[in-house]
Chains A and B, each alone.
Chain A
């Protein structure tokens, strides 16, 4: 086998269309997530599902408010 034959043989390693689509989807999903700020993710969530988003926000606020006293209490008990 010469240089050209081996070069041609390597084309057998070309990714299949389905593999290429999988790679594309994962890379662009990751890049999109990296480029999207947390604030815009929240705004998008409020736009699509306002009630769920409000529920999530309320739950987050409650856990932020209750976590420090609970941690303090656990520390005191230990």
Chain B
């Protein structure tokens, strides 16, 4: 009876795993799953199910990249950190303990942020004399592919480089990883109220700088 009742959910989770694994294999973006499905994938991945492991990877790899890109100097650094963080996540699933009110994404992005911080301490972002970030080798492979988006990306990178590390981490967790104030608080060891205050301040600074940088004529008025 119990086995019969659990069969459909196992079959569904297998299908979800398979679909996500195929998506990951072919480089497609995986459909976001709810926390219940993620918890099932974690359980399967812990038992050595490669499909579940692929599915978890596909769920979080781009989120991790978006989170760490704003914290680091170059696309190459972000790629390395994403790779190291995803490997750390997939090989330490046995240490993960679910907590109520904290999503699995918070655990994943905390690992990513700690990996990025270690990298950041070794290689701080450098601004040139004109206040611009140095060109990166993959500038020509900008994901957006259009000029406005590339300009916005560049303005965002410059504006982020001007923020203190703590503020940069917090805004990256908010907008890159889509975490809420209490999840960010538990990731960096701060009170949610403090996180909200820092977010508000950083949002204003970022907004002003991005608008000035992406619209230089308007800034000189």
Contacts and interface: CB of A to CB of B under 8 A. Distances in A.
Q: Residue among A3, A9, A31 with the most chain B CB within 10 A?
A: A9
Interface stretch (A14-22, A44-52, A67-75): A14-22
Contacts of B57: 24, 27
A26 B85 CA distance: 12
Chain B CB count within 10 A is highest, among A20, A21, A22, A35, for A20
Contacts, number: 96
Contacts of B50: 35
B18 interface: no
A42 interface: no
A24 B75 CA distance: 15
Interface in B86-107: 86-87, 90-91
Binding site of A, secondary structure by majority: helix, strand, loop or mixed? helix
How big is chain B's contact interface, by range?
Answer: 35 or more
A19 B75 CA distance: 9
The B contact surface, by secondary structure, is helix
Chain A contact residues (Cβ within 8 angstroms of B): what range? 20 to 34
Contacts of B171: 6
A8 to B, nearest CB: 9
B87 A30 contact: yes
Given A14-B62, A15-B62, A27 B87 contact: yes
Nearest to A34: B91
Interface in B23-78: 24-25, 27, 50, 53, 57, 61-62, 65-66, 69-70, 75, 78
B79 A10 contact: no
Nearest to B151: A12
Interface of B: 24-25, 27, 50, 53, 57, 61-62, 65-66, 69-70, 75, 78-79, 82-83, 86-87, 90-91, 138, 141-144, 149-150, 152-153, 156, 171, 175-176, 178, 203, 206-207, 210-211
